[in-house]
């Protein structure tokens, strides 16, 4: 079997030209800001809230040499976790929650190139 993905939830892009990248995506595609702090800007893609986000991360605030993350929405996080285990993929040891009200559950797997893939289910 394979992991069933419903849609891309988010993409994290590490950038050396933080403000230039923000301006590019906002000017070119008119993506509104969904979240912002001093080193992260999340841009909403499309009309559905909390879906298809692009997150730009200032390279000066990243520790290590890589940060690439792709987030996929799944329908059943427990079954997905079991399937990843059956596929013997490198992954987190448990399912976690996040969000202001813990409205999402997720765990991470790593692809062969070391990129992080978050598998996410809204609660």
Residue 115 confidence class, pLDDT cut points 50, 70, 90: confident
Pick the CATH number of 7-122 from 3.40.1080.10, 3.10.180.10, 1.10.150.120, 3.90.1150.10: 3.10.180.10
Maximum distance among all alpha carbons in the chain?
A: 44
Indicate the domain borders of the chain.
7-122
* H runs (alpha helix) in the chain: 18-29, 77-86
pLDDT in tens, 11-26: 888 778 888 888 888 8
User: Which of 108, 80, 84 has its CA nearest to residue 96?
Assistant: 108
Q: What is the pTM of this model?
A: 0.69
Distance CA 79, CA 81 (A): 5
């Amino acid at each position: 079997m394979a992991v069933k993905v419903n849609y891309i939830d988010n993409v994290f892009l590490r950038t050396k030209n933080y403000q230039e990248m923000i301006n590019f995506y906002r000017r070119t595609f008119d993506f509104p800001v969904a979240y912002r702090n001093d080193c992260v800007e999340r841009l909403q893609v499309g009309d559905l809230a909390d879906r298809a986000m692009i997150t730009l991360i200032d390279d000066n605030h990243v520790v290590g040499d890589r940060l690439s993350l792709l987030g996929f929405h799944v329908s059943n996080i427990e079954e997905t976790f079991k399937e990843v285990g059956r596929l013997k993929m490198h992954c987190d040891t448990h399912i976690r929650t996040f969000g202001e009200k813990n409205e999402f559950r997720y765990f991470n797997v790593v692809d062969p190139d070391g990129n992080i893939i978050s598998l996410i289910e809204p609660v």
